Structure 1
Amino acid sequence: MNSVKTYTLFTEHDIYLFREGKHYKLYDKFGAHSVEKDGIQGVYFSVWAPNAKKVSVIGNFNHWNHRDHILYPRWDESGIWEGFIAGLTWGTLYKYAIETAYGEILEKSDPYALSWEQNIQAASLVSTTWYEWEDENWLQNRWKKNNLEAPVSVYELHLGSWVRDGNAPDRFLNYRDIAEKLVPYIKEMGFTHVEFMPVMEYPYDPSWGYQITGFYAATSRFGSPQDLMYLIDKLHKNDIGVILDWVPSHFPGDANGLHCFDGSFLYEHEDPRKGFHPDWKSYIFNYGRSEVKSFLISNAMFWLERYHADGLRVDAVTSMLHLDYSRNEGEWEPNIYGGNVNLEAKTFLQDFNTAVYKEFGNSIITIAEESSDFPMLTKPVHDGGVGFGMKWMMGWMHDTLDYFKVDPIGRKFHHHKLTFASMYMYNENYMMPLSHDEVVHGKASLIYKMVGDEWQKFANLRALYVYMYTHPGAKLLFMGDEFGQTSEWNFTQSLDWHLLQYPVHKGMQTVVKDLNHLYRFEPAFYENQFNPDGFEWIEANDEDNSVYVYLRKGKKREDVFMVILNLTPRVLDYKIGVNNGTHWEVIFNSDDERYGGSGVTPEVIKEEYEEWMSRPKSITLKLPPLAGVILKQKKDKKYKLHRIKLHKK
């Protein structure tokens, strides 16, 4: 006798929205929910398996027997199976036993489960995301932190290897333990946001979390859903935003996962030219299927609503948008217009951005990891754009790292690798990423990408950071790069924190901390970061000296900074054109001894009233070697009052 009772959480309107691809809160309906029926407490289960002959719930409560608790198919041909099982409670282990059209029994974990076991069986757990949040003040005011005129400096980290238990280095720390160490560190370093590499449940550690099986479950490696919420809550209470990596691009073929979920190609595209990823040996979502769109956009909403995430960095957008991504001729099929754009994926991304920005406004950010020149990624959907808030500036990253690998004697032949970004930097809202992808797989750590002996490597990296932090756009730095981690990132162990005992590494950390604070507290570096009014070249073409000079400007006329990069190991007396009525104060020097530099002090050694660099006046500045120098403009009071008087007349 079947001990499952009929029960539903779905309305007819829910079913309509689900089938139209417009239901964005499916986590309130699907999955396992603790409910009461006829005065009896139990759990309601529901799952989408339209091609199944039979679906039952198996678990530790029925000895994993697929004959005892059979769900009921809905009458409306939605493909949903559902039912109520009395007496079950939190912590119950379960899966769905799905009998396919061919009579095969598949044991599948729940796509909407809130928790999964952390073992090879990876059963789902009846769980809850109830948590007593204390971040109301942050949520009410976070629009000030996440909008395009706010400083956004992101610290990207992998929770399993940022830091581990010192007494048992093979053991992961709990989310709560991480909170006690991470929050004060981020506050001290001055980052505005953290970005967590995927925290959704995944079976394979070497995937770093990018091969997700439990899209609605916080990975139990580091604790419970409430433990992760505690970490996010504590970051918010300390004025730190949280961005989560989100992976709607693909999923692995694990037997208990989404692949061939009911014996058919349900979540993935049936055509392998669209449904199988040749690089990652994983399966690509069918973006043209309405129910799959509802699943994915609901998943984005889930992390933003239930976990109070402030943004989603969307992984592998390039692979989603291009039908020919990593495919040779004949291995992909053009779209209806003969092009290589995956129109269904583009529409999905537009719908995703439209939905989350409608729900949360500019209090959240969506960020595309996209490496091509796909147009209008960060333009509004109503103008034909894809609707992201920001896009990773991959071209800037590649050009910059390529430049700093070149010996200074040959840099004049590569000079415009550092100026080229200014040709397109306002085409999109860019975030400059020095991410985890740049310090793995034999690419070397950032410090060992730099050319020269040890002193030159550190000087080059300090100068690179000055360039990054003073360049228009949001910032992202991967963990360990802030103190010059010497080894490549290894996901199996903690960062090399012991390096901070050496002055040169401590100095590098101090550089990043000071640049973060400068970026955050000087509006000229952020309020026009996506606006052409905020940047001006003074000298972009001095290849022979490998010197770059540019201005960063705020909304106030007098809010102006000058940045000078001397990317040779020579001390230079360098002449720079400036405007009348201004004088300049050096406020930052990456060659300062406390940063590990040589201690050459940049100073104005001459001031002349002659036209130079198309400006009426010039100053000559002593430039330290392989260094970035930042000057703040000071208006001459007499000149300023005179101008005001003229204006009044």
Structure 2
Amino acid sequence: MTKVSLITDYDVYLFKEGSHTKLYRKLGAHLVEGGVYFAVWAPNAREVSVIGDFNGWDPHKHPMRRREDPSGIWETFVPNLPKGTRYKYFLVDAWGNPKEKSDPFAFFWEPPPSTACLVWDLDYHWNDQVWMATRRSKNSREAPISIYELHVGSWKKGLSYRDLAHELSQYVTEIGFTHVELMPVMEHPFYGSWGYQITGYFAPTSRYGTPQDFMYLIDLLHQKGIGVILDWVPSHFPTDPHGLAFFDGTCLYEYEDWRLRWHPDWNSHVFDYSKGEVRSFLLSSAHFWLDLYHVDGLRVDAVASMLYLDYSRSEWKPNVYGGRENLEAIEFLKKLNTTVYAQFPDVQTYAEESTAWPMVSRPVYLGGLGFGFKWNMGWMNDTLFYFSLDPIYRKYHHGILTFNTWYAFSENFVLPLSHDEVVHGKGSLLQKMWGDVWQKFAHLRLLLAYMYAFPGKKLLFMGNEIAQWEEWNHESSLRWDLLEYPSHRGIKKLVEDLNRLYREEKALHQLDCEAEGFEWVDFHDWEQSVISFLRKSKEGEVILCVFNFTPVVRYRYRVGAPAGGTWREILNTDSEIYWGSNVGNMGKVEAQPVVFHSRPYSLELTLPPLGAIFLKKAF
């Protein structure tokens, strides 16, 4: 008999309407006075009970009672259960078949391949009050946001959350990134999915410790002034029998029509966004990490697969208007962003969206999807293609470098050099670069400088900052031993300096998302594969960025300048400290009163081979 219930009639209303954002306080297993309250959504089950260590996994000892309302929720109270008790739900499903299911709302799971859940609390004493009070300014569009993306299990193998907290916070502070983005840490049965096949949407994976250990990781990063973004996957879920799939014998969390339900890319099921209960489940998962784990942002995976009904499908079901858009998923994404920014106005949401869908990062009230930022996949694909070309042929593809600016301010963009670009036989960033060994390193330095100069926030996947030769392998640690070599140390040093400049120079970050922050100096020199542009701040500060995409030194190369006087060379990717050939301008150049590029002054520069230089007016 249920002695206690955490669920009110209003909870049921919000749950079914699809607007409940705090279900993690209602469903699942909750330690209350005298025992544990259990609640699970299984509207089509014939019987439900709680099984676990405490009753010998006997489904007859602790049956659950179906609520006398239309919620479809079953609940019970079990006295005298301690924290750490293992449990599952036993169901007789809609067809009379017995099955065991893990708790969709569990806070903590057994380490895979075991699938039981653990009764747990989320009590933790946070020490990140300074960060939480000031993080709005750190997450804003005008802030320098440079993101270090990593996979917890393979950054350094064998680290717990607490070990990682100390080593990662020290490393990220040293190298200068403002945020880390963790590939999905939510509980997942298959390690090789990298966390993108989630079964526990309210639990950090127990592979590396407890929920409190994961909180400690976030807490320490915050104390060091580093923001934390989590990958989150509302687009699909795995078909493991203990998980969400056919939970009560019916298509409960997933679409019933196989043309909507099955995702061929990942052999997984697609959430049924038409159901209010499913929308509430996903909204609550997103809010859970922002609320109880103090997370600073969510990167929403595979948004394009949610928007289009025909995404990767040869057979698909059109919407009610005959179109290819998933209208229900669109409304869910709008609801997600609206509720997140209403309740957590100092965080950001990031869309991994790879199509030309308009206004992804524009407010819902203006017709957008409401995300804070969108990954600029077009810039990434074009840029990596260009860098793979033999420089002899680059002049015929010069438009790749100029085309991106036509849409650079149509969204609030993040420039991603992510994990997706260094797996599945694609090779590491270093391998993608054209040329011999020295040229590959020079190209990588040039690529990194180009990313930090181009409008948009920055994202770099782990291992790229040390120029790892091998593509990423989740089964092994990064090749930290490479830092014994000056070529690899040079790349790391460059990333440190680029992060420092990006943070310190407002011209490089303040107007990342505004056309006023960018101005071409010259994009016409296709013959020599050279471009130059200005980055500008609101206060009128200017950084002149010049790029030579060929292995030829350009002597006495004239570039127009907006002002006279001395211009300091604040970055040269060919410097010997980066393992370059040390070709440059001796640290400064005097502007001459020679009209060039329609500007009253100009600089006569030495452009290093496969190099980038940043110049700033000295005052």
Q: Place the TM-score, normalised by the shorter chain, in its bin.
A: over 0.9
Q: 1:156-555, aligned counterparts within 5 Å? A: 156-164=149-157, 172-328=158-314, 331-361=315-345, 363-555=346-538
Q: 1:593-608, aligned counterparts within 5 Å? A: 593-602=576-585, 607-608=591-592
Taking the aligned partners of 2:141 and 2:400, their CA distance within structure 1 comes to 26
SS in structure 2 of the partner of residue 160 of structure 1:
helix
- Does structure 2 retain, via aligned residues, the 8 Å contact 1:602–1:629? no
Taking the aligned partners of 1:119 and 1:369, their CA distance within structure 2 comes to 28
The C-alpha deviation readout for 1:544-590, integer Å capped at 9, x for no partner, is 11101000001112x10100001111111211112354441111100
Alpha-carbon distance, 1:605 to partner: 6.8
Alpha-carbon distance, 1:616 to partner: 2.2
Taking the aligned partners of 2:425 and 2:609, their CA distance within structure 1 comes to 29
Alpha-carbon distance, 1:607 to partner: 5.0
Taking the aligned partners of 1:496 and 1:580, their CA distance within structure 2 comes to 45
Of 2, 7, 15, which aligns to 1:5? 2
Of 114, 124, 135, which aligns to 2:107? 114
Alignment-mate amino acid for residue 128 of structure 1: D
Of 594, 598, 607, which aligns to 1:614? 598
Alignment-mate amino acid for residue 167 of structure 2: K
Taking the aligned partners of 1:102 and 1:581, their CA distance within structure 2 comes to 82
Alignment-mate amino acid for residue 16 of structure 1: Y
- Does structure 2 retain, via aligned residues, the 8 Å contact 1:218–1:228? yes
Of 17, 21, 40, which aligns to 2:18? 21
- Does structure 2 retain, via aligned residues, the 8 Å contact 1:589–1:602? no
- Does structure 2 retain, via aligned residues, the 8 Å contact 1:6–1:72? no
SS in structure 2 of the partner of residue 296 of structure 1:
helix
SS in structure 2 of the partner of residue 215 of structure 1:
strand
Q: 1:549-564, aligned counterparts within 5 Å? A: 549-557=532-540, 559-564=541-546
Q: 1:64-79, aligned counterparts within 5 Å? A: 64-79=57-72
Of 595, 617, 630, which aligns to 2:614? 630
Taking the aligned partners of 1:469 and 1:93, their CA distance within structure 2 comes to 49
RMSD of Structure 2 on Structure 1 (CA): 1.1
Taking the aligned partners of 2:167 and 2:469, their CA distance within structure 1 comes to 22
Deviates more, 1:101-110 or 1:582-591: 582-591
* Aligned counterpart, 2:42: 49
Are 1:577 and 2:560 matched, yes or no?
yes
- Does structure 2 retain, via aligned residues, the 8 Å contact 1:376–1:428? yes
SS in structure 2 of the partner of residue 419 of structure 1:
helix
- Does structure 2 retain, via aligned residues, the 8 Å contact 1:60–1:94? yes
Taking the aligned partners of 2:569 and 2:95, their CA distance within structure 1 comes to 75
The C-alpha deviation readout for 1:55-112, integer Å capped at 9, x for no partner, is 0001111111111110000001210000101111101111000111221011000000
Taking the aligned partners of 1:101 and 1:494, their CA distance within structure 2 comes to 46
Are 1:63 and 2:56 matched, yes or no?
yes
The verdict on how the C-alpha distance between 1:7 and 1:580 changes in structure 2, with shifts beyond 3 A counting, is closer
Alpha-carbon distance, 1:448 to partner: 0.5
Taking the aligned partners of 2:438 and 2:305, their CA distance within structure 1 comes to 40
* Aligned counterpart, 2:32: 35
The C-alpha deviation readout for 1:230-258, integer Å capped at 9, x for no partner, is 00000000000000000001000001000
Taking the aligned partners of 2:279 and 2:17, their CA distance within structure 1 comes to 9
- Does structure 1 retain, via aligned residues, the 8 Å contact 2:563–2:591? no
Taking the aligned partners of 1:618 and 1:402, their CA distance within structure 2 comes to 32
- Does structure 2 retain, via aligned residues, the 8 Å contact 1:89–1:126? yes
Q: 1:75-114, aligned counterparts within 5 Å? A: 75-114=68-107
Taking the aligned partners of 2:326 and 2:154, their CA distance within structure 1 comes to 35
Alpha-carbon distance, 1:337 to partner: 2.4
- Does structure 1 retain, via aligned residues, the 8 Å contact 2:561–2:591? no
Alpha-carbon distance, 1:51 to partner: 0.2
Taking the aligned partners of 2:25 and 2:409, their CA distance within structure 1 comes to 40
The verdict on how the C-alpha distance between 1:83 and 1:139 changes in structure 2, with shifts beyond 3 A counting, is same
Give identity over the alignment, percent. Answer: 55
The verdict on how the C-alpha distance between 1:487 and 1:580 changes in structure 2, with shifts beyond 3 A counting, is closer
* Aligned counterpart, 1:638: none
- Does structure 2 retain, via aligned residues, the 8 Å contact 1:66–1:97? yes
Alignment-mate amino acid for residue 460 of structure 1: H
SS in structure 1 of the partner of residue 153 of structure 2:
coil
Are 1:128 and 2:121 matched, yes or no?
yes
Taking the aligned partners of 2:343 and 2:189, their CA distance within structure 1 comes to 31
* Aligned counterpart, 1:141: 134
- Does structure 2 retain, via aligned residues, the 8 Å contact 1:44–1:83? yes
Alpha-carbon distance, 1:336 to partner: 2.1
- Does structure 1 retain, via aligned residues, the 8 Å contact 2:2–2:75? no
SS in structure 2 of the partner of residue 266 of structure 1:
coil
Alignment-mate amino acid for residue 33 of structure 1: H
Alignment-mate amino acid for residue 560 of structure 2: G
Taking the aligned partners of 1:419 and 1:77, their CA distance within structure 2 comes to 58
Taking the aligned partners of 2:296 and 2:483, their CA distance within structure 1 comes to 31
Structure 1's unaligned 5+ residue stretches are 165-171, 636-649
The C-alpha deviation readout for 1:150-170, integer Å capped at 9, x for no partner, is 000000000000012xxxxxx
Structure 2's unaligned 5+ residue stretches are none
Taking the aligned partners of 1:343 and 1:226, their CA distance within structure 2 comes to 38
SS in structure 2 of the partner of residue 519 of structure 1:
helix
Taking the aligned partners of 2:229 and 2:173, their CA distance within structure 1 comes to 16
Taking the aligned partners of 1:252 and 1:578, their CA distance within structure 2 comes to 56
The verdict on how the C-alpha distance between 1:607 and 1:556 changes in structure 2, with shifts beyond 3 A counting, is closer
